[in-house]
Structure 1
Amino acid sequence: MLAALRCSVCGGGVDLTGHALRCERRHAFDLARQGYVNLLHAKVAAGTADTGEMVAARAEFLAAGFYAPLAEVLAEEATGDLVVDAGAGTGYYLAKVLDALPGAEGLALDVSAPALRRAAKAHPRIGAAVWNLWEPWPVGSGVADTVLNVFAPRNAAEFHRVLRPGGTVVVASPGSGHLGELARKLDLLDIGEDKEQRLDAALADGFELTRRRQCGGTVRLGPDDVRRVVLMGPNAHHLHRGGLGDRLAALTETVGVTTAFSVSTYRRLP
């Protein structure tokens, strides 16, 4: 994965020297003690990156196994020796993929440093770098076999550039009815019904859809689990909207909740 990384200032290759990544032009990026590297040059706008509280909620929720069916499908779709997870979060899904690919390495990219502190430790074959996915990635061209993208920003141009010819993009998005019971009960942000159509349109120029799979089921969420699943996503930035925070705090009962995921696999066209 080190060979796949590039200096985010000049685009040159980097080497690990001591506790820093350095390029030939002497640009240097210190490794954090938690094992990740921050390649950003500026702070991100407020409300863009997941906060420490959001990351903790996600780690606890995913560890309970509620989204395990999605992780299993992603592991079945990913292939090759290098998997780049664009929007890796805590590294939960990338770790499951690497468990299924014993010879592969993973590169976790995310704009949230708190998330990558966990991702760097999620699996011994993960390397983690803080980066804004909307900017050109500090990754070489044609180096990845699979790009993983789970509920994260989709930069189609960079997907195409970093993948080798014939490589695959595996995109996970919420399916129809995902968390619908909670959306109605708590008045959560709308997921939208045309995600698959918009996804296909976004990737139409450089990719061919090869397979689309649906997975999920019904899970029983206790009050703390409900709070975690809400607080780990974009609704966490809107707790004061219409009293959402108060409604979450008042929960006392277990709720049956639908989980629904759409996993779309695309092949990179020349």
Structure 2
Amino acid sequence: MPSDRLLSVLTCPHCPAGFEHIRGALRCANRHTFDIARHGYVSLLTGHRRAPSADSADMVRCRASFLGAGHYDPLARTLAELAGELAAPDATVLDAGAGTGHYLAAVLDALPRALGLGLDSSVPALRAAARAHARAAAAGWDVWQPWPVRTGCAGLVLNVFAPRNGPEFARVLTPDGALLVVTPTARHLRELHGPVGLLAVDPRKEERLRRALETHFRVESTEPLEYTMRLTAEDITGLAGMSPTARHLPAAQLRARAERLRTPVPVTASFAVSVHRPLRTGQ
């Protein structure tokens, strides 16, 4: 864990106590102990709390390669710009479903004294997230469950292509904090749906987002972001491999379909970036 301030954000998943750092582990006052992995993250998942699904090592490898090539850099820049407007320079930033920590790192670069905590259930993703930024830490957790995080500790919560736990988003934010959500639109990657077999965006996704958050948040703004990427067969294979499509089609089949395309292929990246504020009593 990179700092005592971040350590104070976490709470024991077995009891409400905080942690102290003792000989390569986190231990609470009731002596519940969680080892810090040699890669730098701590997993707080135990027993029945284990997440039912998580990104595989291959999916994480594909994601790191695709993001490292810069294809989603406009999205990372948009998040960084919004974070600079929404959060104090020394805020605590929580990333729910952080993956490799790519977007959390971009946001921390925009907030010079902020500290970040990424929550994810994938061990390969946590290994990457733990070293994504000098001011970030990573903890293994299923974000659908109540979080092992103190109430009102975060100035900003990120939720980028990840599960939306509205009650926990609201609980961990300060009263003047903000939730920053990214969802793909129906136009996202549309050129690859037929030729490659990428799964299309659920047409009810926006409705589900609204239902997940409306009890606890008001929408402050929604900003569209759309641009064209030019992707090689290797890019397309990686993009498919990091997406839910990889759970339905074998890697060899995805690769063969990508290699049949005349590349580079113009592909639409299309997102909705929305800012949400916690509802106050009476709103």
TM beyond 0.5: yes
Note the aligned Cα RMSD (angstroms): 1.6
Equivalent-residue separation in structure 2 for 1:220 and 1:245 (angstroms): 17
2:151 is equivalent to residue 141 of structure 1? yes
* Corresponding residue SS for 1:103: coil
Question: What is residue 44 of structure 1 aligned with on the other side?
Answer: 51
Question: What is residue 9 of structure 1 aligned with on the other side?
Answer: 14
Residue from 103, 110, 120 that aligns with 1:110: 120
Equivalent-residue separation in structure 2 for 1:65 and 1:240 (angstroms): 25
Aligned residue type for 1:177: R
Question: What is residue 122 of structure 1 aligned with on the other side?
Answer: 132
Equivalent-residue separation in structure 1 for 2:27 and 2:224 (angstroms): 43
Equivalent-residue separation in structure 1 for 2:255 and 2:235 (angstroms): 15
Question: What is residue 173 of structure 1 aligned with on the other side?
Answer: 183
Distance change >3 Å, CA 257–CA 76, structure 1 → 2: same
Residue from 150, 154, 162 that aligns with 1:152: 162
Residue from 78, 85, 91 that aligns with 1:73: 78
Residue from 267, 275, 278 that aligns with 1:257: 267
* Corresponding residue SS for 2:198: coil
* Corresponding residue SS for 1:185: helix
The number of residue pairs the alignment matches comes to 267
Residue from 190, 195, 216 that aligns with 2:226: 216
Which stretch shows the higher mean deviation, 98-107 or 76-85? Answer: 76-85
> Any conservation in 1 of the 2:152–2:174 contact (CA below 8 Å)?
yes
Gaps of 5+ in 2: 1-5
Equivalent-residue separation in structure 1 for 2:221 and 2:51 (angstroms): 35
Equivalent-residue separation in structure 2 for 1:76 and 1:244 (angstroms): 35
Aligned residue type for 1:129: A
Residue from 70, 77, 82 that aligns with 2:92: 82
Question: What is residue 32 of structure 2 aligned with on the other side?
Answer: 27
Equivalent-residue separation in structure 2 for 1:53 and 1:216 (angstroms): 27
> Any conservation in 2 of the 1:67–1:216 contact (CA below 8 Å)?
no
Equivalent-residue separation in structure 2 for 1:129 and 1:234 (angstroms): 23
> Any conservation in 2 of the 1:223–1:254 contact (CA below 8 Å)?
yes
For residue 165 of structure 1, report the CA deviation from its aligned partner: 0.8
Question: What is residue 235 of structure 2 aligned with on the other side?
Answer: 225
Equivalent-residue separation in structure 1 for 2:78 and 2:207 (angstroms): 21
For residue 72 of structure 1, report the CA deviation from its aligned partner: 1.1
Equivalent-residue separation in structure 2 for 1:21 and 1:193 (angstroms): 43
Equivalent-residue separation in structure 2 for 1:138 and 1:120 (angstroms): 17
